[in-house]
Amino acid sequence: MRPICTTGSGMRRPTGCTGAAIRKCCRRSPAAPRRRGANTPRWCTPTIAWFGLRGVPMFDPAGKVYRMVGVSQDVTARKRREDAVRFLAYHDSLTGLPNRRLLDDRLKQAVHLAQRRDRKVAAMLIDLDNFKQVNDSFGHRAGDAVLKEVAQRLAACVRRADTLARHGGDEFVVVISEVNAEADCQIVADKILHALAAEFHVDGRALALGASIGVSLYPTDAGDGDALLRNADAAMYRAKQLGRNQYRFYGR
């Protein structure tokens, strides 16, 4: 097929590309199919633009494509909406952290990998202490601000290879993959308790919280992800019974 020689302003304006850049991008695209189709290239622009392309190839007597006749439509707004919907399906809308759905998937993957490598996995369930008083005394807007700050502090306590998720309400879960020893969990738990012990400031008010943490280990305490979370939850409640603002391993 002959290369594109010219491009109209209808393509240059929304993409922010020069004609030469668009022609270069199109030359990298695969050959056109023999039927009507759709293609959505991602243009290399300062602001990414997506286009839906529909066209019909024209063939010469030898059966070779020599021209494409079709139309294009800027679908950037639609693509962004689809991406937002897809993100919210797996992430918490307030904190941006993985939600329960994504947490379950990550936990299953971590356990499966640990089975293959004969390693350990830890689930840590973190429940904020005295959070109900924040909502009752200062309202849900203040509570939401605290939860977002909690998410940021927790993220600074875990490795990028691990998973931090919002389990719901004022509960968060950390999945630590490839645990070598219990000391690894203790280090993370101590970091979390220290991070959450610092005051939270909302609308000029200083709020003191804290957290109770339950820790469960695979395969010592549970044989699958669901049981791992249940046992971490039980250990968390044990930490609350013993005075809060501490962590407990399951069964101890």
How high is the pLDDT of residue 23?
A: 59
Structure confidence by residue, pLDDT tens digits, 114-158: 999 999 999 999 999 999 999 998 999 999 999 999 999 999 999
**Which of 240, 238, 239, 218 lies closest to 229, judged by CA?**
218
How high is the pLDDT of residue 29?
A: 47
* Distance between CA atoms of residues 101 and 80, nearest Å: 22
Sole residue written with tokens 């993409």: 15
User: Is there a contact between 220 and 235 (Cβ–Cβ < 8 Å)?
Assistant: no
Q: Catalytic residue positions?
A: 170
Task: Give yes or no for residue 44 having a pLDDT over 70.
Answer: no
Structure confidence by residue, pLDDT tens digits, 62-85: 988 877 777 777 787 888 888 777
What's the whole-number mean pLDDT along residues 207-232?
A: 96
* Distance between CA atoms of residues 225 and 29, nearest Å: 43
How high is the pLDDT of residue 45?
A: 52
In the chain the domains, ranked by start, together with CATH numbers, are 9-79 (no CATH), 91-249 (3.30.70.270)
Q: Whole-prediction pTM value?
A: 0.73
Percent of the chain predicted with pLDDT > 70: 81
Report residue 45: phi and psi, to 5°. -130, 160
User: Is there a contact between 164 and 158 (Cβ–Cβ < 8 Å)?
Assistant: yes
More confident residue, 12 or 241: 241
Task: Give yes or no for residue 34 having a pLDDT over 50.
Answer: no
* Distance between CA atoms of residues 209 and 198, nearest Å: 8
Band the pLDDT of 12: cuts 50, 70, 90.
low
* Distance between CA atoms of residues 98 and 124, nearest Å: 15
Burial 114-147 (b: 16+ CB within 10 A, else e): beeeeebbbbbbbbbbebeebeeebeeebbebbb
- Kind plus residue range of the DSSP H or E element containing 68: strand 65-74
- Kind plus residue range of the DSSP H or E element containing 215: strand 211-218
More confident residue, 52 or 133: 133
